[in-house]
Each structure stands twice: as C-alpha cells, then as structure tokens.
Amino acid sequence: MGAIVYGHFTDELDLLNAVKELKNKKIHIADVRTPFPVHGLDTALKYPRSHLPKIAFAAGLIGGSLGLLFQIWVFTKGWPLNFGGKPYLSIPSFIPVTFELTVLFAAFAMGIAFLLRSNLGPGKIPNILDDDVTNDHFQVILAAKNNNLSEIELAEALEAAGAIDVKQVNATT
C-alpha cells in the first residue's frame, strides 16, 4: 500500500503549468481530474491519441455496407417490385438509409467503446477524493508508489508547482 498525494488548483492555466513543471522534474502523475475539459492537458500529460475515431470509422463502414447490401438484396433478389418501370437496383434511392445506418453503427460503437475503455457502467462507484473537483477545482494526483520520492517530497513538489491545497490519503489498492 502507498499513499496518494493530491493538490488542488483553481485555474486551468495554473494546472497546465503545474503539470509541465512536475513532468520536467520527472514526477509521475497518476491522474488529473478537472470539472471540464482542459485544452492541451492531454498533450502535457503525453497521452496517446484515442482509438475511438478508428472504432467509429470501422463501425460506420460495417453499418453502411450492411445497409447497402441489405437494400440491394431486398430490391433485387428478395422482393423485387416494379415501380413504374424503374430499375431494381437504384443506388441513389439507397443513400438515405445507408447514411442513417452508418451514423447509427458508428454512434453505438463509440458509446460502447467509451464505456468499456473508461470502465464505466451501472453500479460503478465513483472514486472522488474531494467534492471540490466536481465543481470548480482542478486536481493533480500523485501516487507515492510510482515515484522515487516520499509523500512529504511529493507534497512539497505540488506546493512548489502552485497548488492551493495539498492533501494525502492512504491508498486501498
């Protein structure tokens, strides 16, 4: 078991500067929690790009292809109907349904992938260290087990980076 040291910041620019300063000192940041998205934070934390766009693109291709193939099969093989001499295979009339299925498959795949990747779901209890982070504070979390520094040194590093409040919690996992 190790300790978790976290510091509060009131401004996103202070948070970004603190993250950059801690990264320059080679201090491993376990997590950063914010009440809203902060532009540039993922770059400062050196997070890799998300795979969600690739998943959405693949699911959209599958949905659009299945929709188009199903319509082609229905109107040419399954139940061919003669609509005033129009051709059985009329691709322009298939575009709206194909587009809708592309969007539907992509949206559902992204939603499911996001929930699985974020480990969210029914019955999941949130791990909120301090209620202020859900309102107007920003939080940088440092785990003592991931750093070669003591809890006191981590707290001093957070204070030097501009944290307005530094707290320590014993980790249960």
Please give the tally of structural domains in the chain: 2
Which is nearest to 70 in space by CA: 104, 102, 98, 109?
98
Q: Which range of residues forms the domain containing residue 91?
A: 52-117
> Hey, what are 101's tokens?
């299925």
pLDDT in tens, 68-127: 999 999 988 888 877 777 787 888 889 999 999 999 999 999 999 999 988 888 888 877
Domain membership of residue 38 (yes or no) is: yes
Average pLDDT over every residue of 3-17 = 91
75 inside domain: yes
* pTM for this entry: 0.72
Mean pLDDT (the chain, rounded): 89
pLDDT in tens, 22-65: 999 999 999 999 989 999 999 999 889 989 999 999 999 999 99
